[in-house]
Amino acid sequence: MKKRVIASLLALVLSAAALTACGNEAAETPAVTEEEAAVEEAAAPVEEEAPAEEAAAATEAVTKDRSGNDITLPEEVNTIVSMAPSITRTLIDMGLADKIVASDTNTQASYGSELKDDVVYFDMMAPDQEQIVALNPDIVFTSGMSSKDGVDAFASVRDAGICVADIPSSASIADIEEDLMFIGQCVGMEREMEVLVNLMESNIEEIKEIAATIPEEEKKTVLFELFTPSADYPTIYSAGQGTYINEMLEICGLKNVAADQEGQWPALSEEFAIASDPQVILSADMYTPDAINVILGMKGWENVQAIKDGAVYMLDADKVNQPNQHVVDVMVEIARLIYPEYFEEALKDAA
């Protein structure tokens, strides 16, 4: 599959830009692989130095964040506060980890080892606005999760004249791509991000094309769970219509048993899950130790097809739950796990 290794994509794009910066030393550059050459070719527009007025126009075009709030982007972004793990992951992948001066505690749990030792961490739901203002960052990225009951958790930061750019939780893959482009615009890496988004779309299109060859009678039903039921909490939280996770499952040729349930994130009963008899169970449960074996051993589930076949798989919760470029990694993994006869050969070089 051409241009499909999303996990290493940004490194290749940034490497391509660095090679161009070498100017007259290009003749001494070591040979690159076919895939690196493809990425470098795709990134060619990034390497061309745009006229100053064109670059300024691109920055001036961003006057609202993804929530529709008016914002004024700084001329340069040298210090960043990122209050969402999905955004932080993207910034790290873009080579901007050193510019992050503060983040949220969820980011600390997932990616703290990839950030500087002196990064300050805040509770996502109750950020210390006074301390954020004291840091005087060029931009603060938020996910909207910090604002509860319509209260702006960053009002004082905005009042201090600091750019606060809000990115609500994405409902679709198209939303994720637009969010990525917005981040690129904010940090002055719009062209690099455009290359990434184009390659994401290329990967997704190929997965769609392969999935379209699967006969309807071979397409499998799937139960996706974010929380495994227990005696104390017998509810299964899943993903339904209007979520990028449901879209991911459908693109991979799966039939989501929760797709017709009410709400984007339906709370399913065990009775419903058992009666739906899914052929596959996918878990992104971050709370249940040894979730796969717990699911396989649940009483009353013995006759569920997925349990009988052992078709119960754990997904990387960070990659699934954080709407950014890595959702494509998860789609590749799902496709290969469930339909290896269709996808394994086509995706054999994927991460």
Question: What is the reported pLDDT for 152?
Answer: 85
Residue 339 belongs to some domain of the structure: no
Report d(CA 301, CA 283) in Å as an integer.
15
Residue 224 belongs to some domain of the structure: yes
Give the position of tokens 């950020």: 127
Helices (H), the chain: 6-21, 34-42, 44-47, 52-60, 85-93, 105-111, 129-135, 155-159, 173-186, 190-211, 244-251, 270-276, 291-296, 305-309, 317-321, 327-338, 340-343
Give mean pLDDT, residues 36-47: 45
Structure tokens at 24: 């007259």
pLDDT for residue 246 is more than 60: yes
pLDDT for residue 235 is more than 80: yes
pLDDT for residue 206 is more than 70: yes
- The answer to whether residues 66 and 158 belong to one domain is yes
pLDDT for residue 41 is more than 70: no
Report d(CA 9, CA 13) in Å as an integer.
6
pLDDT band for position 57 (cuts 50, 70, 90): very low
Residue 322 belongs to some domain of the structure: no
Report d(CA 55, CA 145) in Å as an integer.
32
pLDDT band for position 21 (cuts 50, 70, 90): very low
Query: Which has the minimum average pLDDT: 5-19, 75-89, 160-174, 315-329?
Result: 5-19
CATH number of the CATH domain containing 162: 3.40.50.1980
Report d(CA 327, CA 244) in Å as an integer.
9
Report DSSP letters for 301-315, one per residue: -TTSHHHHHT-EEE-
Question: What is the reported pLDDT for 61?
Answer: 73
Question: What is the reported pLDDT for 343?
Answer: 94
pLDDT for residue 71 is more than 70: yes
For residues 111 and 89, the answer to whether their CB atoms sit within 8 Å is: yes
pLDDT averaged over every residue in the chain: 86
Report d(CA 288, CA 8) in Å as an integer.
30
Give mean pLDDT, residues 190-209: 95
Is residue 208 exposed (0-12), middle (13-18) or buried (19+ Cβ within 10 Å)? middle
Report d(CA 65, CA 281) in Å as an integer.
37
Give mean pLDDT, residues 344-351: 63
Question: What is the reported pLDDT for 344?
Answer: 81
Tell me the residue range of the domain where 150 lies: 50-169
Residue 8 belongs to some domain of the structure: no
pLDDT for residue 222 is more than 70: yes
For residues 179 and 170, the answer to whether their CB atoms sit within 8 Å is: yes
Top pLDDT among 257 and 151 is at: 257
Handedness of CA 246, 249, 253, 257 (dihedral sign): negative
Residue 16 belongs to some domain of the structure: no
- The answer to whether residues 164 and 250 belong to one domain is no
Q: Count Cβ atoms below 10 Å from residue 302 Cβ, excluding itself.
A: 11
Query: Which has the minimum average pLDDT: 58-72, 124-138, 197-211?
Result: 58-72
Q: What percent of the chain has pLDDT over 70?
A: 80
Question: What is the reported pLDDT for 148?
Answer: 65
pLDDT digits over 286-336, tens only?
999 999 999 999 999 999 999 999 999 999 999 999 999 999 999 999 999
pLDDT digits over 112-125, tens only?
999 999 999 999 98
Report d(CA 3, CA 10) in Å as an integer.
11
Residue 6 belongs to some domain of the structure: no
- The answer to whether residues 250 and 142 belong to one domain is no
What CA–CA distances, in Å, run from 89 to 44, 96, 152, 288, 331? 24, 10, 24, 24, 18
Split into its structural domains, the chain has a count of 2
